Amino acid sequence: MYRIGFPFWKQLARIGVPLIIRVDVLRDDEAGVFVATSRDLRGLVCEASTMDQLVNEVNSSIHELLMFHIDGNAQKPVTDLRLCCA
């Protein structure tokens, strides 16, 4: 497995190396939602009222963002999603 953001991650994703993405989750009590962001994958910001919904949102967003970042020239990347709750 290889972490997104490390050198050559895009090339490795193109050949099917599994990727690791760190996703940080915060609870916004005022808005009543969980918010997920990632320093590894630019552009990832999701929110949902439950953790299950958030995981679904993050999974679909990760796929779209990875395709955008690696120019859509790769197979669907394999990712290891690990949410870090603060």
Domain boundaries, the chain: 2-85
Q: In this model, does residue 79 exceed pLDDT 70?
A: no
User: Residue 17: left (phi > 0), alpha (psi -120 to 50), or beta?
Assistant: beta
User: What does pTM read for this prediction?
Assistant: 0.74
Query: What per-residue confidence (pLDDT) applies to 30?
Result: 95
Tell the CATH superfamily of the 2-85 domain: TTHA1013-like (3.30.2390.10)
Q: In this model, does residue 84 exceed pLDDT 80?
A: no
17-76 residue pLDDT tens: 988 999 999 999 999 999 999 999 888 999 999 999 999 999 989 888 888 888 755 455
Query: What per-residue confidence (pLDDT) applies to 71?
Result: 73
Q: How far is CA 9 from CA 13, 20, 74, 77, in A?
A: 6, 10, 12, 11
Query: What per-residue confidence (pLDDT) applies to 72?
Result: 59
